[in-house]
Amino acid sequence: MRHCRALAILAFIPLPAFAADELPNELLLRCEGNMNAVLEAPNHPQSRSAGFSVNLRLKDRSIVDAQTGVVEGADCVQQNGEIKCEATKLYPLPNSVIKRFSTVFINRNTRELTLWLESWDYEGGDASGTPTGHLRVLRTGTCRDDALF
């Protein structure tokens, strides 16, 4: 009788916050919204606003653009119902290097997305010295997950 009463009490105790706030192992997201970009290049600054649509895949604690394979965020964690990721990568090109920094925030309750990207172009084989260009992009919108497709 005592064991039954203890089990009944345990059934009504809420799960610890970490159990309810775990990062999913895998998640496919379809996100849409608005994008604002600013390109600072010598003698030729540009800005642009447009709509965007992107498929993001969360797997192995990384968020990747499912169409291009570009890592938008790594070392993802979920805290207080929000997935947070950050990534810094170097992309070598012939005679130049692009340094790319991005953060991704996805609110699991409201499905709001904030994706911030910043990149710097450098001449030569490493990301040192004065950048020849600087790009900032902010994408905000909403996502649907694979359960809603």
**Domains (range + CATH), the chain:** 2-148 (2.40.160)
Residue 149: is its pLDDT beyond 60?
no
pLDDT exceeds 80 at position 15: no
Q: Give the model's pLDDT for residue 41.
A: 82
Report how far residue 104's alpha carbon sits from residue 86's, in angstroms, rounded to the nearest whole number.
Answer: 6
Query: Which long-range contacts does 123-128 make (Cβ < 8 Å, 24+ apart)?
Result: 123/95, 123/96, 124/95, 124/96, 124/97, 125/92, 125/97, 126/97, 127/90, 127/97, 127/99
